[in-house]
């Protein structure tokens, strides 16, 4: 059975914010994506509010029928917002103001105290906690120690691999990391850089419960619409086969 698909609608808001008007609406995009078959909606509320605004978050909390996953930095401001709005799951991610997109996994040991405090608050509010981490054993062990229930494995290096050898090396790291996470009783999601051409080997990993995909689906939707772009990704996930390892 393929993993579930959560669509990140940030870049619908990116287009809107380019003109500072009310269109296109990420809330409408989320509703259309749910009708097309996604299992969840993901948004990243950044400190600089470059795309998703708090109003989007508040409306999405009221309108999303599947599952709302909110990505955010491990800051007191964001933790407060999460506890006020009550998404189904929060994914803590690293964040730098100058970055174009998330550049790597969270350094969990460096933020240990803040994350542990957030984990306690989220448990009190019924919010599941996920950490976006590189496929690194130390980060995964730390994620378990600070109280996360889920890790999202960063698939960026796998997706950016320039040749078969590099891709296989990154895939092996992902497989080994997922096995460790499963042993530690962490649920596993994955995402970053995935598209219909490279998603198959990741979707074929049985322990991966969910894929968080945004840019490639939204980019495709510009040409074919949200419904078709979502269904193309779901079809690619359903046809998934593991990467052949040498």
Helices 112-124 and 76-85, packing angle to 10 deg: 10
- Residues 5, 38 contacting (CB under 8 angstroms): yes
Is 192 one of the catalytic residues? yes
Name residues whose C-beta falls within 8 Å of residue 150's C-beta, 6 or more positions apart in sequence: 89, 91, 128, 129, 130, 131, 186, 187, 188, 189
Catalytic position from the list 11, 51, 111, 192? 192
Is 71 one of the catalytic residues? yes
- Residues 94, 71 contacting (CB under 8 angstroms): no
Helices 26-36 and 10-19, packing angle to 10 deg: 150
Catalytic position from the list 11, 44, 51, 111? 44
Catalytic position from the list 11, 34, 51, 71? 71
Is 44 one of the catalytic residues? yes
As annotated, the active-site residues are 44, 71, 192
């Amino acid at each position: 059975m393929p993993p579930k698909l959560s669509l990140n609608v940030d870049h619908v808001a990116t287009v809107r914010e380019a003109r500072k008007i009310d269109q296109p609406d990420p809330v409408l995009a989320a509703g259309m994506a749910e009708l097309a078959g996604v299992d969840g909606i993901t948004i990243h509320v950044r400190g600089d509010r470059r795309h998703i605004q708090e109003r989007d978050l508040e409306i999405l909390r009221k309108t999303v029928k599947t599952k709302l996953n909110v990505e955010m930095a491990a800051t007191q401001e964001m933790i407060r917002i999460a506890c006020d709005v009550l998404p189904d799951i929060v994914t803590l991610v690293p964040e730098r103001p100058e970055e174009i997109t998330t550049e790597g996994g969270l350094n969990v040991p460096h933020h240990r105290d803040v994350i542990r405090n957030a984990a306690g608050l989220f448990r009190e509010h019924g919010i599941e906690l996920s950490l976006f981490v590189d496929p690194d054993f130390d980060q995964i062990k730390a994620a378990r120690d600070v109280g996360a229930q889920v890790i999202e494995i960063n698939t960026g290096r796998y997706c950016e691999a320039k040749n078969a050898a590099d891709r296989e090396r990154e895939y092996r790291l992902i497989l080994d990391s997922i096995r460790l996470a499963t042993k530690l009783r962490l649920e596993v999601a994955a995402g970053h850089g995935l598209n219909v051409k490279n998603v198959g080997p990741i979707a074929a990993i049985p322990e991966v419960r969910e894929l968080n995909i945004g840019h490639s689906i939204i980019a495709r939707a510009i040409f074919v619409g949200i419904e078709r772009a979502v269904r193309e990704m779901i079809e690619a996930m359903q046809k998934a086969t593991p990467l052949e390892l040498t």
